[in-house]
Structure 1
Amino acid sequence: MTSQTAQKANIPSSDQIRRAPKVLLHDHLDGGLRPGTIVELARASSYSQLPETDPDKLGVWFHEAADSGSLERYLETFSHTVGVMQTRDALVRVARECAEDLAEDGVVYAEVRYAPEQHLEAGLSLEEVVEAVNEGFREGERIARENGHRIRVGALLTAMRHAARALEIAELANRYRDLGVVGFDIAGAEAGHPPTRHLDAFEYLKRENNHFTIHAGEAFGLPSIWQALQWCGADRLGHGVRIIDDIQVHADGSVKLGRLASYVRDKRIPLELCPSSNLQTGAAESYADHPIGLLRRLHFRATVNTDNRLMSHTSMSREFEHLVDAFGYTLDDMQWFSVNAMKSSFIPFDERLAMINDVIKPGFAELKSEWLFRQTSSTSGSEAEED
Structure 2
Amino acid sequence: MSDKSLVPGLFDGSAESVKLAPKVLLHDHLDGGLRPGTVLELADACGWSLPADTEEDLARWFRESADSGTLVRYLETFEHTVAVMQTPEGLERVARECVADLADDGVVYAEVRFAPEQHLERGLTLDEVVEHVLEGFRAGESEARAAGRDIRIGCLLTAMRHAARSREIAELAVRFRDRGVVGFDIAGAEAGNPPSRHLDAFEYTRAANAHFTIHAGEAFGLPSIHEAVAFCGADRLGHGVRILDDIVLGENGEPRLGLLASYVRDKRIPLELCPSSNVQTGAVLTLAEHPFDLLARLRFRVTVNTDNRLMSDTTMTKEMVQLADMFGYGWADLERFTINAMKSAFLPFDQRLELIDDVIKPGYAVLIG
Q: Report the TM-score range of the alignment, normalised by the length of the smaller protein.
A: over 0.9
Partner of residue 140, structure 2 = 140
SS in 2 for 1:25: strand
SS in 2 for 1:288: helix
What is the alpha-carbon distance in structure 2 between the residues aligned to residue 322 and residue 262 of structure 1? 28
Tell me if the contact between 2:70 and 2:280 (Cα under 8 Å) persists in the aligned partners: yes
Q: Mind listing any 5+ residue stretches in structure 1 that lack a counterpart?
A: 370-387
Percent identity reads 67
1:285 Cα deviation from its structure 2 partner: 2.0
What is the alpha-carbon distance in structure 2 between the residues aligned to residue 97 and residue 22 of structure 1? 18
What is the alpha-carbon distance in structure 1 between the residues aligned to residue 218 and residue 14 of structure 2? 30
SS in 1 for 2:86: coil
Larger radius of gyration: 1
SS in 1 for 2:56: helix
Tell me if the contact between 2:13 and 2:325 (Cα under 8 Å) persists in the aligned partners: no
Partner of residue 29, structure 2 = 28
SS in 2 for 1:68: coil
- Supply the AA of the counterpart residue of 2:93: R
1:287 Cα deviation from its structure 2 partner: 1.7
Partner of residue 53, structure 1 = 53
Mapping of residues 44-83 of structure 1, within 5 Å = 44-48=45-49, 50-83=50-83
1:11 Cα deviation from its structure 2 partner: 4.9
1:123 Cα deviation from its structure 2 partner: 0.3
What is the alpha-carbon distance in structure 1 between the residues aligned to residue 196 and residue 365 of structure 2? 44
Is 1:282 the counterpart of 2:282? The answer is yes
Partner of residue 153, structure 1 = 153
- Supply the AA of the counterpart residue of 2:227: Q
Tell me if the contact between 2:217 and 2:239 (Cα under 8 Å) persists in the aligned partners: yes
SS in 2 for 1:310: coil
1:161 Cα deviation from its structure 2 partner: 0.2
Partner of residue 383, structure 1 = none
RMSD after superposition? 1.5
1:288 Cα deviation from its structure 2 partner: 2.0
Aligned residues: 366
Partner of residue 330, structure 1 = 330
What is the alpha-carbon distance in structure 2 between the residues aligned to residue 60 and residue 11 of structure 1? 29
Partner of residue 269, structure 1 = 269
Tell me if the contact between 1:216 and 1:228 (Cα under 8 Å) persists in the aligned partners: yes
- Supply the AA of the counterpart residue of 2:25: L
Tell me if the contact between 2:275 and 2:319 (Cα under 8 Å) persists in the aligned partners: yes
What is the alpha-carbon distance in structure 2 between the residues aligned to residue 162 and residue 198 of structure 1? 10
Tell me if the contact between 1:240 and 1:273 (Cα under 8 Å) persists in the aligned partners: yes
What is the alpha-carbon distance in structure 1 between the residues aligned to residue 347 and residue 216 of structure 2? 22
Tell me if the contact between 1:11 and 1:331 (Cα under 8 Å) persists in the aligned partners: no
SS in 2 for 1:101: helix
Distance 1:209 1:280, change over 3 A: same
Partner of residue 384, structure 1 = none
Bigger RCO of structures 1 and 2 (CA < 8 A, at least 6 apart): 2
What is the alpha-carbon distance in structure 2 between the residues aligned to residue 98 and residue 191 of structure 1? 30
Tell me if the contact between 1:103 and 1:151 (Cα under 8 Å) persists in the aligned partners: yes
1:284 Cα deviation from its structure 2 partner: 1.5
1:12 Cα deviation from its structure 2 partner: 4.0
What is the alpha-carbon distance in structure 1 between the residues aligned to residue 73 and residue 137 of structure 2? 29
Partner of residue 212, structure 1 = 212
SS in 1 for 2:288: coil
What is the alpha-carbon distance in structure 2 between the residues aligned to residue 177 and residue 355 of structure 1? 20
SS in 2 for 1:113: strand
Q: TM-score with structure 1 length normalisation? A: 0.93
Distance 1:230 1:90, change over 3 A: same
1:132 Cα deviation from its structure 2 partner: 0.3
- Cα distance per residue 1:295-319 (max 9 Å; x no partner): 0000000000000000000000000
SS in 2 for 1:111: strand
